[in-house]
Amino acid sequence: MNPADIKGCPNNTLDIGEDLDGTGVLYTYGENSFALPAAAASLFADGSSIKAAAADPLCPAGGTGGINPWPRTFLLDPNEARENPPALFRRALKLVNGSLITLPICPGGVSCGLTIATENPAYVQGDYNANSPAGSGFTGASVAASVVADAFTLLSDDWHDVNTFNSPFSVNGRQSTTAWYRLGVVAGKGISFPIPGWDSPAVDGSQDFGTDGGVHNFMRYLERWTGTLNYTGSLVSLYYNRQAVGLFNSGGNNYSPPNRGYTFDANFLNPLLLPPRTPMFRDVNTTGFTQLLLPTQ
């Protein structure tokens, strides 16, 4: 996040908001070219490694410009991005087909809950834990559910991965519809930093650049939302994200938030209805004491 450059080209300087670990050290993950082993080449459709790549046209000197799609390197053929296997660790976790979650009965006479935890960014695609008939809200069967992740993104039923490759810089190519989600979310957020001097409403349509987007953007979006995003649950921010470190930017054609139908799930007030492994804190306040005098023998 180069505050002196509206294009955000790397400046090889540790700027405010980049030191996620508080070490004072500048890390440049992915800036070195990485050659896939021969065994991995067969994972690509043509039997070879990705070759249709070029340096970022906005920052020609900002990346490797080599054959691998690392940061600041652009793929010339969007479909090749779909054949990009994880070389070191999985990049994200996506949950699909989760509208109806059926679990057995646990002690206490309630359905067992489901908590999914990952060190990666998590994406939920389509209605989740909300199997009500269309338009009837959260009246159907549900369980105590939550997701714990590096960052959390909601995708509608209309989402398809190919849309983000075909339309990487305009949200207009990623349309959505009304969707329903019922779960607790524990996730990370970005570090705030001073608004750059070049930023103004005339530049990006807002003055949110430099913030984490606030609680209403804690759950992230990648689509042009034309309907309502219905969510009931509880949002918990416990840490900074380490992997999903893209900056919040509400300007241009890359951001189109939904009508937010957000409510708190009152079931979370009942300990029996909390998702498994819900983080809990106890605070004991001493309000007084009494001295007990006992007879001695």
pTM score over 0.75: yes
| pLDDT tens sequence for the chain (297 residues) | 788 888 777 788 898 888 888 889 887 765 544 444 444 333 444 444 555 566 677 776 544 433 344 556 677 777 776 666 666 667 899 999 999 999 999 888 889 999 999 999 999 999 999 987 765 678 888 999 999 999 999 999 999 888 888 887 788 899 998 899 999 999 999 998 888 888 877 666 667 888 888 999 999 999 999 889 999 999 999 999 988 988 888 777 778 899 999 999 999 999 889 999 998 777 888 888 887 777 776
Short-list 176, 106, 178, 111, CA closest to 140: 111
Q: Count Cβ atoms within 10 A of the Cβ of residue 78 and give its class: 0-12 exposed, 13-18 middle, 19 or more buried.
A: middle
Percent of the chain with pLDDT over 70: 77
* d(C-alpha 48, C-alpha 44), whole Å: 6
Cβ neighbours of 64 (radius 10 Å): 18
Q: Amino acid identity, residue 75? A: L
15 strand-pairing partners = none
Neighbour tally for 128: CB within 10 Å: 26
Q: Which tokens hold the place of 23? A: 């070490």
Residue 260 forms beta bridges with which residues?
229
DSSP 43: T
DSSP for residue 210: T
